[in-house]
Amino acid sequence: MKTVAKKATPAAIAVLRQATAIAPLRMKASDGLLPSRAHLTQSPTSDHNTGFAVDLTHDPKHKIDCADIFQKLKEDERVKYLIFKGKIWSRERASEGDREYTGSNKHNRHLHISINEGKGRDTSPWFWWMNAPKPVNQVVASLTSMPAKKAYKTQVCTCCKLHGTKP
């Protein structure tokens, strides 16, 4: 059994804080950092026990779609493994793709993110693709030449242009 951490790593905490910053109204019912006593008994080797894991509640209604996040976080070097909706993906076995998760909790209501031990202090953006501004009503500018100034044959008054002599 791994030693139980007293607090989660900064990287794990950052997942929940950043998700809330993106979607302040998101549900948090299945969010989790450190293990309960029941979890310790059921999963004595879990990365939650060391503070290197986080559970993020699936809430697509409020922009936290864990199916999308599961796919995108495979690109993040901090990720050791991911579990969601009965599937597991691990960096160690990435060539095998998504595999069936055989644990008792299929993680249908939350995404489990396990963090590589050397990356626990990295709080850089977890959801980098969600913060990008979307082009809305994009305007395409084009260059048009200005018409040449009109050349007057007779001298034009600068005050009113109605008569040909200055007042």
The predicted structure's pLDDT at residue 145: 62
Q: Which domain holds residue 95?
A: 10-130
Angle in degrees, CA 21, 86, 59, rounded to 5: 25
Residue 62, in any domain of the structure: yes
Cα separation, 138 vs 128, in Å, equals 22
pLDDT of residue 144: 57
Q: Is residue 81 part of a domain?
A: yes
- How do residues 9-58 score in pLDDT, each as one tens digit? 999 999 999 999 999 999 999 999 987 777 777 787 888 888 999 999 99
pLDDT of 137 reads: 38
Any domain includes 101: yes
In a domain, 158, yes or no: no
Please state, in angstroms and as integers, the Cα–Cα distance from residue 102 to each residue in 106, 111, 125, 146, following that order: 8, 15, 30, 71
Question: Does any domain span residue 145?
Answer: no
DSSP string, 101-132: --SS---SSEEEEEE-GGGTT--S-S-GGGSS
Give pTM, 2 decimals.
0.76
Number of structural domains found in the chain: 1
The set of residues, in sequence order, having a beta carbon less than 8 Å from that of 159 and lying 6+ positions away, is: 166, 167
- Flag the least confident range among 12-16, 74-78, 154-158: 154-158
pLDDT tens digits for range 125-142? 999 999 754 454 344 445
Task: Look at residue 92 and tell me if it is in a domain.
Answer: yes
